[in-house]
Structure 1
């Protein structure tokens, strides 16, 4: 067991955590939220979007962002080129498809929704706010979920494609 393999294992765990979170959100939270009336949907999303910003989330979300390029570099340095290419693809896909979509798609929508005042809004303003938020947010979420699952698959393949003496 080398430090390189331990780092790759940590990378795999962090990647699995974020892919799992996004997948679980897609097949449970979003479905449940879609059933709520407009005012309850907005209130719930405002709370969720604030509460997701916690150490456990950031550990997996930012941890993956940090560990993927480190693992990729270590595989390159070691000369394990098949694993390097898999991890490089995973890194690029995560930076663009998961992190990038979140930061430039979902987060701006979250911030705009957070500023929306339910207390002073009319029923029509609430309905419009939901419509402007929900469809686009879910579209971005689907992209980042698929990207994260693909990243996880690439990392798993990288882990199991290593020469037998280097398997974690």
Structure 2
């Protein structure tokens, strides 16, 4: 489960980098704002929550089980992976991306394309910086989970 959860959340964040945000950046900013508001509203669901919130706990359980069977390298990899995701994925998202998403969600989409473009450019650039960071941290988490599995 540690590799599955880590891979799911890494893939989720990665998809935003290489397709979703590029597509939104290429469209009318009024449409981009509306689409992002809709996606942010729909992501809070029972399918997404286990990978987003559960990944560090699955890794820490794997670390405990590996440690109890004297697989110390595996235990360390799982434990560090859980810490990296907790800080660089979960907490980073909750303190940066989520507040930005909530602020965007409160906006009425401007009818003026230049006003919408100004909002979107400011939002998208900053949001993507944080998304790249959480993707890198999630990728490290996945690599550590894979290493931990190899060491079992």
Residue 77 (structure 1) aligns with: 68
TM-score by length of structure 1 reads: 0.84
Structure 2 residue 50 is the aligned partner of structure 1 residue 59: yes
Q: Identify which of 142, 153, 159 aligns with 2:149.
A: 159
Task: Tell me if structure 1 keeps the 8 A contact 2:8–2:51.
Answer: yes
Structure 2 residue 21 is the aligned partner of structure 1 residue 30: yes
Residue 116 (structure 1) aligns with: 107
CA RMSD of aligned residues (A): 1.5
Gaps of 5+ in 1: 1-9, 163-168
Q: Return the offset for 1:153.
A: 0.6
Q: 3-state DSSP class of the match of 1:56?
A: coil
Residue 137 (structure 1) aligns with: 127
Residue 13 (structure 1) aligns with: 4
Q: Return the offset for 1:11.
A: 1.6
Residues paired across the two proteins, number: 152
Deviates most, 49-58 or 74-83: 74-83
CA distance in 1, matches of 2:113, 2:14: 32
Gaps of 5+ in 2: none
Q: 3-state DSSP class of the match of 1:54?
A: coil
